[in-house]
Chains A and B, each alone.
Chain A
């Protein structure tokens, strides 16, 4: 029953929130409470799965593979937990960090349906059901992107939704063909049947379709353009949630599908994934190097780091996948935090343009220190969380003699450091030319609501760096589960009605 709650809680929350549409102040509290419950449930689920146990539930008690099964192994439970953390942070931040217009027009219900979709995608073991959750998070994020904004925002939203609809169509096509030749939709059942199917070329084409569908979701090269085209128009908390979670759902799908259903090795896709990963890392970080819009700069970094995650998948050893999962978690926390910090910097300095900002180190030294933790972590400076992530992935790559990609990953890391020091220098060190336009809204709610989640996420980044072992041990187990999916397959299939 526990495993159903991460979907059920936000879904019911959304319904309740629609019920009190006109009372944003009530919505705030309910949404926050709901996120806390989700986090608690996720933590419990993580605790249950951490020993290697795989928790499942067959929806409607229909026996697999006929009904839909939800499954939580360590990877799923970890993703749900980190989703919980980010959603709590975003909800607290929204207490004072989101405008009244958005609050009055469905901001909280949309966040809740988005979380329903994200959690559903992380838990389902049915390929068509995964498609449904993708649709839900796509429509929710589309409305959130377009909500309450001007022309620029709508333009970004249209680019976002168009490319992602292509992903949906490709996903659906692949699933239709796959169902035709494999006769099943359950991912466990598929994993069990696919090795025996003779039509390898057709399966290869289907795998390519999935690669493109997930590739658009995950914003990999050359399919990522929707992301920098839209994320810089988002308000900070929405950006934080999107940057933390949306592309990572795509990455999760990559990790799940290409270890379970289409093991990358069997379908000759490792080279393809590795080549793509190198381009994604470099093109992303080069894009970031020339940006001066805080959020846009960050959005290019999202792309670049997706490259690291694909690199890990392409290398495909236990260490690589462990590193990749560690990287994902580190990155979700650090990147969401940077978006939130961008929001506070904009509140204090009146702009998202880092050239216009300045002098914040003397005005708000605490924000400077809070910025440095995720920023340096993102650049892989030890002993922060990003260092261990980078170390594990690059070490796995070098062990497999991927020297060129190792070099690309290191250069990417240097350019990330460059980007972060540029932000630091512009926003915090340099004196600003003019005084901030004091559009200080007298009705603005206390900034503490915005700082608290930033401090929380920074503390997590610091803890994951200084005490990396517990998480690293866990992701190592998760990687083992991915590489030997028999336990997952058994858990999905051997459940009596």
Chain B
């Protein structure tokens, strides 16, 4: 029995071991690392019959049961289909990369990231709970970030990596919110439970919000307009990364998610429009923008965007034919696009450029690569007898039968496909045929490991095209049935007879060739349009980022302006507002405490204290201020005295005296008191402090009114002499009943003393 968890875990172990392996095998780590995708592939092939016909293989481990989260995996037809693509292309690209990076010091790092990505991607498609899926979803995003920025000394690579991280990160967070809401409705994060809850989900008032959030996740990951712009900029990644992550696997994760969740969320009108409209736009715009590209990788990147748009469109249509067409097209696209990316990498590697204008006639120097390129391009163009042809026929069939606006959808499809045909022609003909140019490096054939991958992928497109029923039907059928179990068995054949689909196919190829031959004017326009279109969302991203930073700057400067006075002001205003709001009901009811029967000497003392406080705050001389402070202190001691606490009064009295003496001693050494605040500032401060003082006074008076006799007092009085052996209750409280407080306060004194000593001794440069 195959264990998805062990497969994924061992992928991460291989990744972790990669740097060590590279050292111990003297740069031959790829031989061992390749075992991972190879063995996984063999295991999968071994399960072939079981997956297509048999029950779904499920594996569930406990992870965070307190949160209701398990680490669960399921191998059904859809997961199997994706896992096969991930391992096959992973294996070939790994071998390719070992030659591409030969002698590069950073190879261990590359292997680590690449293998981690592979394991994460497998985890993503094998996950059987939303949270498991999300964990791997984010891990693919993180490894993508590091791989795009692999050439980290290039600023463009760092910017591309950041852009991809932020755009897909935004989507990832939306996805998380969507998943949580989905889990809240279904009562579980387990995918089978989500599927069962389809009706509840679709009837929930939250359904539109959930769908929006999930689509935000899927569209950012799968580069749908208007989030597509990160993908061309991700071409800063080394070519093996582009071939694997940014064409064959990771960018398909959004499509996978849509397919995976379509039984629970799909089929509604909202679903239909929310997917097919952005999908159609992406399909057309991607193909159109690709047409103007001169960089081989960017050309392929835009055509990938177009393909991803097609997939979204098909899933949006969500008819039987559309789902079938989507999966076979996804398969075909992974084959030819993976091959073409590797070929672009080989061309770049061996000739030193990937600018299509500087290339030509390479078939002489690179015959094997050129042959693979021709095959892959034919599949891309959808010509018989390649698998691409079958896929395109199905595509048209699905579009013709679109439930809404079929003619429009079909026309859009023909336009996009004609552009794709022209792109395929452009890629192959301008690179490998036609007039040779001098290139930065003298071109020669790529090393064997860099030829195997493209050759196998392109070759498989041919063989599967010839034997579609034997090689592809059952695989696609298994995948389709995971999405729509009721679908009848799938059969593919090269020849469908003279149908309207064939007419469309012929039309497409003819138009494509015409575009390639005479599309110069379109190219000129394309160039101009490209500037416009790519400025749209890309500019929006830039201004959003810059705007956020500007806002952040302004906000931070405004709040954190470096002046203590403003910090205090804010804090006290906040306190006043809250306290005032809390006191408001009391004031409204007018239950103010009674203020009668205050003896004269108490009132006089209170006035004295208040006058002292005002003088402290307003005095322009330090000496006056300190004297006034002393008045406040002595006033407070008097109050202690009036209320029967002579020992407290005495303590306070001595402290005040000592403080004043000390102040007066250091006074001559202090600089003159500067008065820098304006009158309005002073009035504002005075008002605020008075308000706060009033509020606190109100609170204290209210508290005095509500005073409850404390049972503590009684206890202290009773126990002081017999148990604590002390006649002075206050002392007993301090040293016995609440001795811990006293220990704490003594320590505070110790630290203050140490602090003064240490600060004076440790101060650099002495005092001025």
A binding-site residues for B, Cβ under 8 Å: 11, 14, 18, 59-60, 62, 65-68, 101-102, 104-106, 109-110, 113, 116-117, 120, 124, 128-129, 132-133, 135-136, 139-140, 142-143, 146-150, 158-159, 162-163, 166, 170, 173, 176-177, 179-185, 197-199, 201-202, 204-209, 211-212, 216, 222-223, 225-226, 228-229, 272, 283, 286-287, 289-290, 300, 319, 322, 361, 365, 376, 381-383, 387-388, 391-392, 394-395, 398-399, 406-407, 410-411, 413-415, 417-418, 421, 425, 428-431, 468-469, 472-473, 476
CB under 8 Å from chain A, chain B span 369-400: none
Which B residue's beta carbon lies closest to that of A133? Answer: B744
Contacts of B567 in A (CB 8 A): 159, 163, 225-226, 229
The verdict on B586 contacting chain A, using a C-beta distance below 8 Å, is yes
- A398-B747 in contact given A228-B560, A283-B559 (Cβ < 8 Å): no
A413 to B499, CA, bound (A): 54
B binding-site residues for A, Cβ under 8 Å: 62-67, 109, 131, 134-135, 138-139, 142, 145, 149, 152-153, 155, 158, 161-162, 165-166, 169-170, 173-174, 176-177, 180-181, 183-184, 548-549, 551-553, 555-556, 559-560, 562, 564, 566-568, 570-572, 574-575, 578-579, 581-583, 585-586, 696, 699-700, 702-704, 706-712, 715-716, 719, 736-741, 743-745, 747-748, 750-752, 754-755, 757-759, 761-765
Q: Is the interface of B mostly helix, strand, loop or mixed?
A: helix
- A66-B568 in contact given A177-B700, A425-B158 (Cβ < 8 Å): no
Are B751 and A110 in touch, CB under 8 angstroms? yes
Contacts of B579 in A (CB 8 A): 205, 208-209
- A183-B711 in contact given A104-B762, A225-B567, A392-B67 (Cβ < 8 Å): yes
Contacts of A120 in B (CB 8 A): 744
Are B165 and A417 in touch, CB under 8 angstroms? yes
Contacts of A223 in B (CB 8 A): 570-571, 574
**Partner of B741 from A128, A201, A418 at Cβ < 8 Å:** A128
Which B residue's beta carbon lies closest to that of A212? Answer: B575
Are B762 and A102 in touch, CB under 8 angstroms? yes
Contacts of B138 in A (CB 8 A): 381-382, 387
Are A211 and B578 in touch, CB under 8 angstroms? yes
Are A398 and B177 in touch, CB under 8 angstroms? yes
Are B582 and A205 in touch, CB under 8 angstroms? yes
- A472-B754 in contact given A180-B703, A430-B153 (Cβ < 8 Å): no
- Report 27 cross-chain contacts, Cβ distance below 8 Å, ordered by A residue: A18-B754, A128-B738, A128-B741, A129-B740, A129-B741, A132-B745, A133-B744, A140-B751, A148-B763, A180-B706, A180-B707, A185-B712, A209-B575, A286-B556, A287-B560, A361-B152, A365-B109, A383-B135, A391-B67, A391-B180, A395-B180, A398-B184, A421-B165, A425-B161, A429-B152, A468-B63, A468-B64
Are A199 and B575 in touch, CB under 8 angstroms? no
**Partner of A290 from B153, B552, B575 at Cβ < 8 Å:** B552
Contacts of A211 in B (CB 8 A): 578
Are A201 and B583 in touch, CB under 8 angstroms? yes
Are A472 and B64 in touch, CB under 8 angstroms? yes
Are B748 and A136 in touch, CB under 8 angstroms? yes
- A68-B574 in contact given A146-B759, A159-B564, A199-B702 (Cβ < 8 Å): no
Contacts of B752 in A (CB 8 A): 139, 143
A284 to B711, CA, bound (A): 45
Are B750 and A113 in touch, CB under 8 angstroms? yes
**Partner of B574 from A67, A102, A147, A222 at Cβ < 8 Å:** A222
Are A66 and B737 in touch, CB under 8 angstroms? yes
**Partner of A212 from B65, B165, B169, B574 at Cβ < 8 Å:** B574
Are B571 and A142 in touch, CB under 8 angstroms? no
Are B177 and A212 in touch, CB under 8 angstroms? no
Closest 5 CB pairs of A and B: A183-B710, A143-B755, A132-B744, A286-B552, A429-B152
Contacts of B155 in A (CB 8 A): 430
Are B712 and A66 in touch, CB under 8 angstroms? yes
Contacts of A150 in B (CB 8 A): 764-765
A68 to B158, CA, bound (A): 58
A395 to B183, CA, bound (A): 9
Contacts of A430 in B (CB 8 A): 152-153, 155, 158
Contacts of B572 in A (CB 8 A): 166
A116 to B737, CA, bound (A): 20
Are B564 and A158 in touch, CB under 8 angstroms? yes
A18, A173, A201, A391: most-surrounded residue (chain B CB, <10 A): A201
Contacts of A159 in B (CB 8 A): 564, 567
Q: B753 CB to closest chain A CB, in angstroms? A: 10
- A469-B706 in contact given A139-B748, A391-B176, A417-B169 (Cβ < 8 Å): no
A162 to B67, CA, bound (A): 42
Are B549 and A421 in touch, CB under 8 angstroms? no
Contacts of A181 in B (CB 8 A): 703, 706-708
A113 to B744, CA, bound (A): 10
Q: A234 CB to closest chain B CB, in angstroms? A: 14
- A201-B64 in contact given A106-B754, A136-B751, A180-B707 (Cβ < 8 Å): no
Are A202 and B177 in touch, CB under 8 angstroms? no
Contacts of B762 in A (CB 8 A): 101-102, 104-105, 147-148
A148 to B763, CA, bound (A): 5
A197 to B764, CA, bound (A): 56
Contacts of A428 in B (CB 8 A): 152
A181 to B704, CA, bound (A): 8
A467 to B169, CA, bound (A): 24
Contacts of B706 in A (CB 8 A): 180-181, 197-199, 202
Contacts of A166 in B (CB 8 A): 568, 571-572
Contacts of B556 in A (CB 8 A): 286-287, 290, 300
With A101-B762, A212-B574 already in contact, 6 other A-B pairs whose C-beta atoms are closer than 8 Å: A14-B750, A67-B738, A113-B747, A149-B764, A229-B560, A286-B551
Contacts of B704 in A (CB 8 A): 180
Q: A213 CB to closest chain B CB, in angstroms? A: 9
Contacts of A387 in B (CB 8 A): 135, 138
Are B699 and A286 in touch, CB under 8 angstroms? no
Which B residue's beta carbon lies closest to that of A323? Answer: B67
Are A184 and B142 in touch, CB under 8 angstroms? no
A361 to B157, CA, bound (A): 15
**Partner of B173 from A105, A388, A414, A468 at Cβ < 8 Å:** A414
**Partner of B743 from A11, A139, A140, A290 at Cβ < 8 Å:** A11
Contacts of A148 in B (CB 8 A): 762-764
Contacts of A418 in B (CB 8 A): 162, 166
A229 to B712, CA, bound (A): 42
Are B582 and A222 in touch, CB under 8 angstroms? no
A140 to B736, CA, bound (A): 25
Are B176 and A394 in touch, CB under 8 angstroms? yes
A361 to B153, CA, bound (A): 11
Are A62 and B737 in touch, CB under 8 angstroms? yes
Q: B160 CB to closest chain A CB, in angstroms? A: 11
Contacts of B574 in A (CB 8 A): 212, 222-223
A67 to B724, CA, bound (A): 12
A94 to B435, CA, bound (A): 68
Are A212 and B568 in touch, CB under 8 angstroms? no
Are A376 and B548 in touch, CB under 8 angstroms? no
Which B residue's beta carbon lies closest to that of A198? Answer: B706
Which B residue's beta carbon lies closest to that of A428? Answer: B152
A473 to B583, CA, bound (A): 41
**Partner of A394 from B169, B180, B763 at Cβ < 8 Å:** B180
Are A398 and B181 in touch, CB under 8 angstroms? yes
Are A136 and B747 in touch, CB under 8 angstroms? yes
A156 to B180, CA, bound (A): 42
Are B737 and A60 in touch, CB under 8 angstroms? yes
Contacts of A113 in B (CB 8 A): 747, 750-751
Are B708 and A431 in touch, CB under 8 angstroms? no
Q: B141 CB to closest chain A CB, in angstroms? A: 9
Which A residue's beta carbon lies closest to that of B718? Answer: A66
Contacts of B715 in A (CB 8 A): 66
Which B residue's beta carbon lies closest to that of A411? Answer: B173
Which B residue's beta carbon lies closest to that of A361? Answer: B152
Are B173 and A413 in touch, CB under 8 angstroms? yes
A124 to B765, CA, bound (A): 42
